[in-house]
Every structure is written in C-alpha cells, then in structure tokens.
Amino acid sequence: MITINQVQNNHTTNNEGRYRHLFVIIESLNNELIPSSLEMLGEARRLMDDFNQKYNLNEKVIAIHLGDGIKDLSQDLISYGADAVIYVDDPNLKYPINKIYTKIISQIATDPNSIREISPEYVSAFKKPRYMFFLADSIGRHLSSTVLAELDSGLASDINKLVISDLDIKHQHKTKGETITYKKTLEMYRPDFSGFLWTTILCLDNKNPEIEKEFHPQACSIIPGAFQPIIKDTKRTGIISQYRPQFNEQDLKIKVLKQELVKNPVQFENYKIIVSFGRGIKANPEDNIKLIEKLAKLLNAEIGISLPVSKKIFHLSEKYESIYITPNRVIGTSGRKVTPVIYIAVGISGAIQHLDGMKESDFVVAINPDENSPIKDVCDVFIKGRMEDVIPVIIEELGKLSGRIKEKEIQVNTYGKL
C-alpha cells in the first residue's frame, strides 16, 4: 500500500539531470496526423508549461514522428504545441510495424545525440526522457508496452487525467518504510471497474538501498478524446530534427500491405446539438429512447448517454441496444468530452463526472422532474417535468415551427421569382 500526501518537506531525488523532456509518440496515416495525436500534444503543452513555471526549468515537449514522407508534417506538430520534432522519414516506416518502431523509438529515447540540437545544455547528462506519452489505440497500446519493456520502466495504460506534482511516499519496499519525497511525479489516472473508479498509477524509483533502481521514463498511453488539442498557431516556432536510426534487414522481415483508420462511428464533433439521456428513461426505456431519437432527428442532433446507461441496465431490443447503449456514446470523465452549441440532458442528474464531459457546451437544457438535481445548477434552461410529458410537447412545437419555416421559405422563393 502506497500512501500519498502532497509534499511538505525537502527530500530530493538524486536522478535530477538524467531524465529530461516529455516525448510524445505521434501517429499519422497517409500523411495526415491522427487527431488524437494532437490531443496528446495539447495536454503535453499544458502540463509542461505548468511544469517549467513551477520548477523554473526549460524542458521541452518533443514530438517523435516516424513514417514515410512525413517530414512536412513537422511544422504542424510545432503549431499544435510541440517545442521540437524528432522525425525519421524512411520508406520502410510507411506502416507502423511494432518491431522496427520499438527499436527506433527506443534508440531515440536513449541516445543523447537525439536532443543535441534541441537542448544542448542537457546532452551530457541525458539518459532517457522524463515522461513519455503514447496513444491508447491499437498501435499505441502495443508500441507503448514494447518500448517501455525495452527502456526497462513502467507503463500506465488508458489514461484520461494527468497531474505532475511532488509527492511524499512511504512504502515498505520502495522506500523501506521511510517517507521520501518524489519530485515531479506524473500522477496517471485511469478509469477502472467499468469506469466507476479512478485509479492513480505512479511509476516510482526504488529508493530502498537493498533494491535500488530507477524507473524512467514515467510513461502512459492516453485514451483518444480525453484531452483537447490547443488552437493551431502557425506562428509557433520550434526545432525540427532528423534522426538517423540504425536497423538491419532482420528488422524489416514483416511487411504491412495496407492500413486503414477505423473512425469512431459516433462523431459528436460533427453536430451542433447533442441530446443525452440517463437513468431517467427508466419508466419505459425503449419508448423513451424512441422519443429521444425523434427529438434528435428533428434537431439534427447526435445522441449521448450517461455512464450507468452504458452498463446495459435496461431491457431493450437488440436494435436499440446496439445503436445507443455503447461506450462510445458515454459523456464524462470515463467517456467523451463534448462542446456542442446546445446540450440537452434528459433524465440525467448531473453528477460531477458527467458534467466534466459536457460543461463546455454553450447552452445547456435539462429535462428533469427533480428540481434538486445538480444539473439544475449548471444548465441555462431547466424544464421541470417527466421526459415522457415534456418531449412530446417540444416535438409538437418543433413540428409547427418547421412548418412555419417551410412556409416562409416558400414565400421567399415565390417573391424571389416574382
């Protein structure tokens, strides 16, 4: 059991200087950056800005990018928050083959020359990156595990919250029962137990003299959609550095013939309105989902759900279950973050974990019979009532409105012709 307290004392670690910078492993396909790579860069930027300010350091966000014909994407990576890009452009790297990618990324991560142009002041001491981020997709999950095995350090997978802090740790084995301050520790949070519990993972050096060992980089894979990219700034400047790795014929035995990006079928970002439903549909789940579906169709909205609904707590026909009761529709800390113009919360109480996913919506409407539901405090319009009563009225009014809009369009067209 590890006890964690915010730091109060001044013990320091003795590995300062060897571990520098945050390396972000970028993915691209057909010469386009995968959007989630930019989300990782955004979070890396925010974390390192705070880090450098807090510790009065000048450590960098370094994007590591492998591929074929990818050099020209380097400036985009700088525009999205990287201080520097280390790229390897080679026809053999057109597709991410785990064996060769692991070899090259591990080389970059352990070669002081890789950072020579970027931060000459750290070259002589450099041993490995301080932190490392991968994407928690099918490529990044595999790659992160093999790279971290190669680098002989730990890995936290499927992370959706990150904090850097100094922690007082007391642990029977790691610290031999003493309280020791671990500086600049990356707290990596992951949703566990079906998303209902957050686990914090720490990658800590063994400071017990009997089993002393350093564990760096502190690394994780990050859930796509967990963070927002920063706004692209084409005026940002940074260092773009080509790395020449060493590999041989043996490493190139596996050939990939084709790769396709499987897009999330639920593209919230393409919709201005999102209608989400929660446990409040319980009185008549399938009929209520049909009502919500009708409303969403009229509003040209996408449909979201709360986390408990995704656990298949209602008896529904196969059709409705397969379309709507899926993890990729969950809004919140354990799901997606959305920023629509209008967010309509139907039968959702407004737990903090749900609000975390939709609080940046421009305008929030809640439909709920319980005035004491926390959602009332964060919405712009609270419609007190049961969804079974309220939604049919809205649908009727929208129907009249669209009729009127159509009439107006016809009149305008007619006058236009005249």
Interface ranges with ligand FAD (CB under 6 A): 191, 195-198, 278-280, 283, 306-309, 330-335, 347-349, 351, 353-354, 357, 367-370, 373, 386-388
Say how far apart CA 287 and CA 235 lie, in whole Å. Answer: 53
Q: Where are the alpha helices (DSSP H) in 17-171?
A: 35-55, 74-79, 98-110, 138-150
Say how far apart CA 306 and CA 357 lie, in whole Å. Answer: 10
Query: Whose Cβ is closer to ligand FAD: residue 393's or residue 405's?
Result: 393
Query: Whose Cβ is closer to ligand FAD: residue 82's or residue 136's?
Result: 136
Contacts of 10 (CB under 8 A, 6+ apart): 181
- Min dist CB 344 to ligand FAD, Å, is 11
* Cis amide linkage into residue 217, ω under 30° from 0: yes
Query: Whose Cβ is closer to ligand FAD: residue 86's or residue 307's?
Result: 307
- Min dist CB 329 to ligand FAD, Å, is 10
Nearest to 86 by CA among 245, 230, 249, 215: 245
Neighbouring CB atoms inside 10 A of 374's CB total 16
Nearest to 152 by CA among 219, 93, 52, 227: 219
Query: Whose Cβ is closer to ligand FAD: residue 221's or residue 333's?
Result: 333
Secondary structure class of 311 (helix, strand, coil): coil
- Min dist CB 142 to ligand FAD, Å, is 26
- Min dist CB 196 to ligand FAD, Å, is 4
Query: Whose Cβ is closer to ligand FAD: residue 334's or residue 361's?
Result: 334
One DSSP character per residue, 273-299 reads EEEEE-GGGTTSHHHHHHHHHHHHHHH
Using only C-alpha atoms, the chain has a radius of gyration, in whole angstroms, of: 25
One DSSP character per residue, 98-129 reads HHHHHHHHHHHHH-GGGGTTT-GGGTTT--EE
- Min dist CB 289 to ligand FAD, Å, is 12
- Min dist CB 397 to ligand FAD, Å, is 18
Query: Whose Cβ is closer to ligand FAD: residue 36's or residue 368's?
Result: 368
- Min dist CB 160 to ligand FAD, Å, is 9
- Min dist CB 36 to ligand FAD, Å, is 18
Query: Whose Cβ is closer to ligand FAD: residue 81's or residue 357's?
Result: 357
Contact 94, 138 (CB under 8 A): no
**Kind plus residue range of the DSSP H or E element containing 303:** strand 302-305
Query: Whose Cβ is closer to ligand FAD: residue 152's or residue 380's?
Result: 380
